[in-house]
């Protein structure tokens, strides 16, 4: 999830590249760099923001070049891991967005051939391979290398003696901006909107050659593709949100990609890079807020899938818990990696000899620097204060981790692991199914929008989902909401139920189903409106609930991901209906760095 820009024309490239990179900064990147062709190929790059790059005072003269802002996935945010990358002979420079899945094999090939590599990234192998494949035609060299590459990429390549940009895309956005006597390319439209609004969306498997006066598109087989441009009518701010009204909505819709990227390279082999983690007798999962709800599901997964007794502990309560002094494994979950409560828990656990695995979305954050083992979620930058895509990515990371530990612990047969992994691989598609249902969810929001209180109920895997649904609703719509394990209703909360207290029940077709139906009946008997999140094709639930929001059928342990996406949409539309400031709810910060 990096930012890419490229320019070729008659103007000086450097100011345009830096300006375009600034326009991508709202996404919060960790490194920046540019390469400009003049008399030579000039490169400047560093860890930090675009301002850190500018502070190095590059003064590059030249009319074509590329620029990049990085969101680290392979290798921490350092100067050497920043893009652009040069090949060993300094002829080519490349920027890349995405993940090269088979990079280890390609990297080994380069090492064996004696090619010196300067970074820990998957991206650098591409430029080295392109240079080795080059016979005087950059486009042909890029095509031949991409035919060997597995994974996602948006790339732009320049050569110091050829006046052209070569771009290619697979599962990573790349848009070409057309103008007279100059052309642009970028991963995001806002980077170019100041210069042109005539855009060509490159499709997966397509390559483009840009010169000041022409743009040609072809596919990986070499066949040429007609150029079709569109005129963009958004303003710059709309464009940053990709046409979505709020970042939260955009991020909800980015979940199929975030989940896919979190799994890339890691399945089917469960290659998590955690071989040096010692198998624990006991696991403690620590986190705050939404990440704590991931920890709660994680506890169940570690016990069921890995066969290891586990406990989820609020990070802010960790030092007071009896478990604080135990050795064993601590799994610390944090989107930002900067939440002080979580960091304090981790520091205390490490001081007492525990090994720690961090599940984190920001590489280079304090959490990733202070822990020996890191399992990155790859959701990309999350701007909305309410956690959405990072939560479901955390769940995916925990499924992978539980399956990995379960295999090592011999709690699962190889066949069971493969079945779970196969189900996981279907998740992006199933999540897309929930998103495709957004209009029905939007219509349901009206039912809740005037309520003062709402109750979310679920059992087993979906008890944490109920808590997360309630948190999401309260933080962005300011409706008081509580999440309960459905079995608890009769022990107290049902005293509050009546016609003004909607109940949102998570009722997938799994072993909790019959008891969930009973809980819905008990609620309905108090006149409470009930909205059920239920499996497609389930007819029975419609007889007891007032409204049914459908989610696709899935392996029961994965239903929390699907139900969560539906609940995120529901909260979003309720908040919108109530006119709330969705991306920046009152009193909340994206990252809580105080105890």
Residue 85 in 3-state DSSP? strand
Catalytic residue among 135, 389, 515, 590: 590
Report which secondary-structure segment, H or E, holds 107: helix 103-112
Q: How far apart are CA 445 and CA 566, in angstroms?
A: 11
> Cβ distance 338 to 362 under 8 Å?
yes
Residues 302-341 that bind ligand M6R (CB under 6 A): 334-336, 339
Return the range that interacts with ligand M6R (CB under 6 A); candidates 238-246, 383-391, 406-414, 434-442: 383-391
Q: Which residue carries 């930002």 as its tokens?
A: 336
Which of 342, 437, 462, 554 touches ligand M6R (CB under 6 A)?
A: 342
Minimum gap (Å) between residue 296 Cβ and ligand M6R: 13
Catalytic residue among 2, 288, 360, 580: 2
Q: Which is closer to ligand M6R, CB of 121 or CB of 262?
A: 262
Question: Which residue's C-beta sits nearest to ligand M6R?
Answer: 289
Does 187 bind ligand M6R (CB under 6 A)? Our answer is no
> Which range binds ligand M6R by CB under 6 A, 89-97, 382-390, 521-529, 549-557?
382-390
2 belongs to the catalytic site:
yes
Dihedral sign of CA atoms 83, 86, 87, 92 in order: positive
Residue 271, SS3 per DSSP: coil
| Helices 389-408 and 559-577, axial angle in degrees (round to 10) | 170
Quote the least distance from Cβ 471 to ligand M6R, whole Å. Answer: 6
Interaction of residue 289 with ligand M6R, rule CB under 6 A: yes
Q: What's the token pair of residue 330?
A: 């601590």
In the bound state with ligand M6R, the residue whose beta carbon lies nearer, of 5 and 386, is: 386
By the rule CB under 6 A, 564 interacts with ligand M6R: no
What is the gyration radius of the CA atoms in the chain, in angstroms? 25
- Least distance in angstroms from the C-beta of 397 to ligand M6R: 12
Residue 170 or 339 with smaller CB distance to ligand M6R: 339
Q: Which stretch binds ligand M6R (CB under 6 A): 347-355, 505-513, 540-548, 587-595?
A: 587-595
Instruction: Select 291 or 519, whichever has its Cβ closest to ligand M6R.
Output: 291
Under the binding rule (CB under 6 A), the answer on residue 571 touching ligand M6R is no
User: Is 291 among the residues that bind ligand M6R (CB under 6 A)?
Assistant: yes
- The DSSP line for 524-592 is HTTT--EEEEEETT--HHHHH-SEEEEE----GGGHHHHHHHHHHHHHHHHHHHTT---SS-TT--SS-
Does 387 bind ligand M6R (CB under 6 A)? Our answer is: yes
Q: Which is nearer to ligand M6R, 125 or 470 (CB)?
A: 470
Spatial distance between the Cα atoms of 70 and 73, rounded to a whole number of angstroms: 9
Kindly tell me which residue out of 288, 401, 519, 569 binds ligand M6R, with binding defined by CB under 6 A: 288
Using the Cα atoms of residue 236, residue 241, residue 243 and residue 245 in order, give the sign of their dihedral: negative
Number of Cβ within a 10 Å radius of residue 514:
8
Tell me the closest approach of the beta carbon of residue 391 to ligand M6R, in angstroms. Answer: 7
Say how far apart CA 444 and CA 438 lie, in whole Å: 10
Q: How many CB atoms lie within 10 A of CB 221?
A: 8
Q: Which two three-digit tokens encode residue 202? A: 């490159």
Task: Return the residue of 156, 264, 277, 386 that touches ligand M6R, per CB under 6 A.
Answer: 386
Q: Does 458 bind ligand M6R (CB under 6 A)?
A: no
The nearest distance, CB 312 to ligand M6R, in angstroms, is: 14
Give residue for tokens 């809740």.
448
Minimum Å distance from CB 375 to ligand M6R? 14
Comparison of 88 and 592: residue with beta carbon closer to ligand M6R:
592
CB of 206 to ligand M6R, least distance (A): 37
User: Which tokens is 105 given?
Assistant: 């094999």
Residue 188 to residue 69: CA distance in whole angstroms: 12
Nearer to ligand M6R, 123 or 339 (CB): 339
Per CB under 6 A, does 91 bind ligand M6R? no
CB 566 within 8 A of CB 532: no
**CA–CA distances in Å: residue 398 to residues 50, 73, 296, 522:** 34, 18, 11, 34
Min CB(32)–ligand M6R separation in Å: 23
Active site residue 590: yes
Dist. CA 125–CA 109, nearest whole Å: 10
Which stretches of the chain bind ligand M6R, using CB under 6 A?
Answer: 288-291, 334-336, 339, 342, 385-387, 475, 588, 591-592
Residues labelled as active-site residues:
2, 590
């Amino acid at each position: 999830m990096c930012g890419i820009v490229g320019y070729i024309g008659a103007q000086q490239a450097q100011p345009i590249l830096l300006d375009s990179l600034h326009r991508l900064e709202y996404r919060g990147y960790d490194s920046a760099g540019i390469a400009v062709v003049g008399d030579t190929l000039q490169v400047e790059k560093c860890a930090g923001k675009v301002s850190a790059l500018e502070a190095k005072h590059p003064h590059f003269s030249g009319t074509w070049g590329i620029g990049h802002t990085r969101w680290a996935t392979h290798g921490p945010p350092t100067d050497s891991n920043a893009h652009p990358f040069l090949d060993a002979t300094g002829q080519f420079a490349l920027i890349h967005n995405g993940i090269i899945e088979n990079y280890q094999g390609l990297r080994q090939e380069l090492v064996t051939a004696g090619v010196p590599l300067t970074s820990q990234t998957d991206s650098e192998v591409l430029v080295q391979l392109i240079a080795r494949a080059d016979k005087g035609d950059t486009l042909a060299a890029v095509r031949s290398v991409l035919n060997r590459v597995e994974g996602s990429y948006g790339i732009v390549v320049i050569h110091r003696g050829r006046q052209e940009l070569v771009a290619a895309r697979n599962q990573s956005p790349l848009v070409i901006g057309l103008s007279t006597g100059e052309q642009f390319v970028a991963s995001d439209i806002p980077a170019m909107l100041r210069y042109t609004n005539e855009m060509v969306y490159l499709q997966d498997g397509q390559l483009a050659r840009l010169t000041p006066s022409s743009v040609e598109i072809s596919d990986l087989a070499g066949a040429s593709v007609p150029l079709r441009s569109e005129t963009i009518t958004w303003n710059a701010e709309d464009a940053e949100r990709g046409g979505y009204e709020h970042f939260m909505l955009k991020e909800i819709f980015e979940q199929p990609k975030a989940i896919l990227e979190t799994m890339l390279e890691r399945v089917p082999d469960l290659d998590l890079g955690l071989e040096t983690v010692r198998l624990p007798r006991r696991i403690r999962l620590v986190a705050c807020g939404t990440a704590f709800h991931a920890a709660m599901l994680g506890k169940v997964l570690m016990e069921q899938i890995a066969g290891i007794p586990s406990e989820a502990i609020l990070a802010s309560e960790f030092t007071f818990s009896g478990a604080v002094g135990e050795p064993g494994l601590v799994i610390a979950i944090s989107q930002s990696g900067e939440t002080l409560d979580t960091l304090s828990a981790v520091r205390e656990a490490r001081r007492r000899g525990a090994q720690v695995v961090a599940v984190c979305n920001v590489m280079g954050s304090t959490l990733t620097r202070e822990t020996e083992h890191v399992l990155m979620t790859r959701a990309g930058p999350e701007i909305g204060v309410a956690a959405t895509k990072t939560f479901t990515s955390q769940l995916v990371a925990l499924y992978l981790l539980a399956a990995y530990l379960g295999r090592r612990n011999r709690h699962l047969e190889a066949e069971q692991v493969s079945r779970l992994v196969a189900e996981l691989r279907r998740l992006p598609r199933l999540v897309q199914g929930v998103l495709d249902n957004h209009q029905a969810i939007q219509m349901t929001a009206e039912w809740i929008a005037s309520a003062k209180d709402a109750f979310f109920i679920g059992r087993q895997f979906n008890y944490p989902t109920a808590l997360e649904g309630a948190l999401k609703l309260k933080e962005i719509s300011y409706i008081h909401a509580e999440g309960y394990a459905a079995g608890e209703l009769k022990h107290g909360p049902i005293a509050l139920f009546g016609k003004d207290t909607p109940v949102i029940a998570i009722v997938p077709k799994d072993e909790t189903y019959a008891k969930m139906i009973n809980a819905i009946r008990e609620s309905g008997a108090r006149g409470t409106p009930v909205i059920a999140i239920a499996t497609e094709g389930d007819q029975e639930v419609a007889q007891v609930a007032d409204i049914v929001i459908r989610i696709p059928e899935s392996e029961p342990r994965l239903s929390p991901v699907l139900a969560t996406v539906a609940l995120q949409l529901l909260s979003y539309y309720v908040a919108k209906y109530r006119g709330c400031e969705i991306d920046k709810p009152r009193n909340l910060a994206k990252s809580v760095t105080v105890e």
